[in-house]
Amino acid sequence: MLLIDCPHCGPRDEVEFHYGGQAHVAYPEDPYALTDAQWAEFLFYRDNPRGPFAERWQHGVGCRKWFNAIRDTASYEFLAVYPMGAQPPHEYAHLVSGSPAVAPAGPASPGASPSGPASPGASPSGPASPGASPTGPTPSSPSASSTESGSDSA
C-alpha cells in the first residue's frame, strides 16, 4: 500500500486517490488552428517515461482536490507533491515541457513543430505571366477556349 502525501490533507492511503494523467499539458491557445493530427496529439498522446514523471492526482475520498505529483514510474515512489497551477520543484523542472509559465533561456522545444518551412512571401511559383498558364486537363469546360482572347499570345 502506497502512502500519498496530499498537499492539503497529509499522507493518506493510495485507495483514496485517483490518477489524472500527465500534468502540465497545456490547452492549445487556438484550438481551431490545429489540424486533426495536432488535436489528436493533444488529446491522446502523452509521455511515458521510465523514472520521474509529472502527474495529476485527485484526493477523491478526502478533500477531493486535484494536485500535481512527481512520481517515479519504475519504483512508484512519490518524489514531490505540489498544488495545481504551481510549477514542480526545481530539481524536476526539466520534466515539464511546453509550459507557458516556464520560459527557459535555452532551446525551448527541440523539433516540436514538424510543420515544415514557412517562409512568408517566398512563393516558388515565379513571375506571374498572364496567358502563359497551360490549360492542362480541363475536360469539364469545353467552351472555355473561345471566351479567353489572350490565351494564345506568343
Buried b (16+ CB within 10 A) or exposed e, 67-76: bbbbbeeeee
Q: Does 9 bind Zn ion (CB under 5 A)?
A: yes
Q: Does 8 bind Zn ion (CB under 5 A)?
A: yes
- Fill in the amino acid letter for 126: G
User: Which residues inside 70-129 make contact with Zn ion, applying CB under 5 A?
Assistant: none
CB neighbourhood size of 24 (10 A): 18
∠ CA 108-69-77, nearest 5°, is: 115
- Cβ proximity to Zn ion: between 65 and 79 the closer is 65
Q: DSSP readout, 100-143?
A: TT---SS-SSTT---S----TT--TT-S--TT-S---S-TT-TT
- Cβ proximity to Zn ion: between 13 and 91 the closer is 13
Considering only the stretches 3-11, 42-50, 94-102, 128-136, report the one whose residues sit in contact with Zn ion under the rule CB under 5 A.
Answer: 3-11
Distance CA 137, CA 135 (A): 7
CB of 1 to Zn ion, least distance (A): 17
Q: What would the grid cell of residue 117 be?
A: 518551412
Q: Does 6 bind Zn ion (CB under 5 A)?
A: yes
CB of 103 to Zn ion, least distance (A): 31
- Fill in the amino acid letter for 32: Y
Q: Mask of contacts with Zn ion, 34-73, x by CB under 5 A?
A: -------------------------x--xx----------
- Cβ proximity to Zn ion: between 11 and 49 the closer is 11
- Fill in the amino acid letter for 150: G
- Cβ proximity to Zn ion: between 5 and 148 the closer is 5
Q: Which residues bind Zn ion (CB under 5 A)?
A: 6, 8-9, 59, 62-63
